[in-house]
Chains A and B, each alone.
Chain A
Amino acid sequence: MAAITTSADLERPKRERFRGARRRGGALGILLSPVGLLVVLFVLPMLIMVQMSFVEFPPNTDSGYTLDHYREVLTNDLNLKIAWRTVMIASISMAIMLAIALPLSYFMAFKAGRWELVLLLGLVLADELAPVVKVYAWQVILGRNGILNWLIPGEPIEWLLYSRFAVIVTLSTTYITYTTIPIYAAMKAIEPSMFEAAVDLGAGWWQQARKILLPLAAPGIFIAMILVYIPMLTDFVTSDIVGGTSSVMMGQRVRDLILQGGDWGAGSALNFLMLAASGILALVAYRLAKLNRIDA
């Protein structure tokens, strides 16, 4: 009996203590180390990078501040050319990925049955394998003596590797998982009985796609596009390994400015511009995701 009364007595204060801690210091204590490390190792370096982009002779911060690096970066013809090419390569790859991801997510969400999980597992597995190895594997396929040139009769085709073609092919397989999953998640929320109703009302597959599937999946599609653009615009591994001089991309340009040229001013200015672009795109996607959630 005594034990029971004791535990009943303990119950209330304990619970209040728990809740009180939750309201006051608890969050601070738990979040202190992860957030503190993020501030020191993530936010501060970003600020230092921004500072460097305004310093006249980085990394010497006493040399005065200037806007010259931005002026130089934005008026340099080579930069503009590379930026334009990067956007083109990323956009073509994006179009190819959407052509694959849209039917794939439709199949996963509505048709796959017990294969749905298998496909999702396959996509995650494909995404998690070493990226450098995956890109290198395309060298083996597209090379002068690669499997494609072996399959295609006649003289070996030179432009298969170390070309824009190779970069586009490789990029469009690299981010399939990132493109498919948001679209699949959006489609998963669509009521399948809508398609049945549409069929009963005489709609064909094209009308179903245009009037039901695409409008309802649109937020997922936009989110996928935006969030795959961000890594594609800064990708330098792919164009380094399978690309050539005609496919130099923005990521390579910035990497070379910093690591080879030692030009921290121009490098950090370009880097900050890319950071700003990525940040804005990410915010837009995030807003879209939120709107989508309220609608649903």
Chain B
Amino acid sequence: MADVAGAVEPRVALGAGSVRHTANAVGWAAFLGVVALALFGPLAILVGFSLNDSSILAFPFEGLTLEWYRQALADPTLREALANSLGVALVVAPLSVILGTLAAFGLTRFRFRGRGMVGALVGAPLVLPWLIIGIAALMGYARVDLDLTLRTVVATQTICTFPLVTAIVSAQLFRFQRVQEEAAIDLGCSRLQVLRHVILPHIGPALGAAAIFAFTWSFNNYEISLFTIGFQQTFPIWVYSSVRNPDHTAVVNAVSTLISAFQVVTIWLAIRLLRSRGGGALSIVGDRAVAAGTVAEGSGVPAPVGAPR
């Protein structure tokens, strides 16, 4: 109520207004600080413990050591898990980029009967929980007597990851006037030339970003790997089994720090690539639902950040 009374004569008490303004700014800063702390604080503390000279996770810190990094890099089970994750992600990412780009072209550049159905089908793995997809995959592989190996992990991860690529690339294709393609054809370009000189320069950065995100999704995936893997371990599965072992936690901290640092750099790079073509695509990466909407019907693409309203 006080606010309403103040707003009736807002310009009279200028001094009071600027005090309120400062108070507002401080309030917002505090709020954002708390949110940032909740999102990144736990990881920061993990980094701290990875350098802490004690195998027990207890405050205060007891001194600096690189011992846990040495142990992490020497652990054969961990090295194998990392190699498995890396191998899987290095196959899943390019496969996803190819399949995802094909689906994006098919869904945005063609009108045909059943387009809505196909869009919903491609968008579905983005919205449905990985737990359910993983269990279904496990039963499917068992039904056809297929042994669970890293290959089954790759197969199921790929069909859950390429729709993300479709969403990212579709968003670029939507924003891109088809007129430009037609103009190039009118000027005598062949379809290959259109692809090379008109379309690829436009979606190139998005393809790079999509590859990085697909790699990250695959590398981080726990749910699908758990149900479709045989005797091997991937990195998330290794972390999962190690955090239950109290002797192991310092090593988990060290390797998690290394992986997170690597991911911060690569994801940052991917975000930069997307940003260079407008921020709308960012929302797609940050929200599977927005991505699914983009795939299904080209809806849910929010206004590019910073664009005039």
Seen from chain A, the residues whose Cβ lies within 8 Å of a Cβ on chain B are: 7, 10-11, 14-15, 18, 22-23, 26-28, 30-31, 33-35, 37-39, 41-46, 48-49, 52, 59, 100, 103-104, 107, 111, 116-117, 119-134, 136-141, 143, 145-147, 150, 173, 176-178, 181-182, 184-185, 188-189, 191-192, 199, 202-207, 223-224, 227, 230-231, 233-237, 240-241, 251, 254-255, 258-259, 264, 267-268, 271, 274-275, 278-279, 282, 285-286, 289-290, 293
Contact = CB atoms under 8 A, between A and B. Distances in A.
Nearest to B237: A132
23 contacts: A15-B185, A22-B109, A27-B106, A34-B166, A42-B136, A46-B136, A49-B136, A103-B31, A107-B31, A117-B275, A128-B213, A128-B220, A128-B267, A130-B259, A130-B260, A133-B46, A147-B45, A150-B58, A150-B59, A181-B283, A203-B4, A230-B128, A268-B135
A254 B131 contact: yes
A278 B290 CA distance: 16
Interface in B77-121: 99-100, 102-103, 105-107, 109-112, 115, 118, 121
B267 A286 contact: no
A123 B103 contact: no
B43 A34 contact: no
A125 B128 contact: no
B142 interface: yes
Contacts of B36: 122
A42 B133 contact: yes
Contacts of B132: 234, 271, 274-275, 278
A151 to B, nearest CB: 8
B33 interface: no
A244 to B, nearest CB: 13
A145 B57 contact: yes
Given A41-B137, A136-B252, A293-B299, 7 more contacts: A14-B185, A18-B185, A41-B140, A45-B136, A132-B240, A140-B45, A184-B302
B122 A126 contact: no
A275 B134 CA distance: 12
A67 to B, nearest CB: 19
A52 B135 CA distance: 11
B100 A34 contact: yes
Nearest to A223: B289
Given A122-B36, A230-B129, A268 B139 contact: yes
A129 B42 contact: no
Given A48-B139, A49-B140, A278-B127, A241 B106 contact: no
Q: At the interface, is chain B mostly helix, strand, loop or mixed?
A: helix
B155 interface: yes
Interface in B197-246: 213, 216, 219-220, 222-223, 226-227, 235-236, 239-240, 243
B150 interface: no
A188 B220 CA distance: 31
Contacts of B137: 41, 45
A123 B46 CA distance: 19
Contact of B289 (A42, A227, A251): A227
Interface string B11-28: 000000000000000001
A293 B290 CA distance: 13
A205 B286 CA distance: 29
Contact of B271 (A124, A141, A143, A147): A124
Q: Which of B6, B7, B222, B306: most chain A CB closer than 10 A?
A: B7
A35 B188 CA distance: 33
A33 B102 contact: yes
A177 B286 CA distance: 6
A147 B59 contact: yes
Nearest to A17: B191
A30 B110 contact: yes
Given A181-B283, A258-B138, A271-B132, A150 B213 contact: no
Contacts of B302: 181, 184-185, 188-189
B222 to A, nearest CB: 5
A119 B282 CA distance: 11
A38 B140 CA distance: 13
Given A30-B110, A140-B57, A206-B3, A116 B306 contact: yes
Nearest to A272: B132
Contacts of B299: 289-290, 293
Interface string B286-299: 11111011001101
Contact of A11 (B131, B186, B289): B186
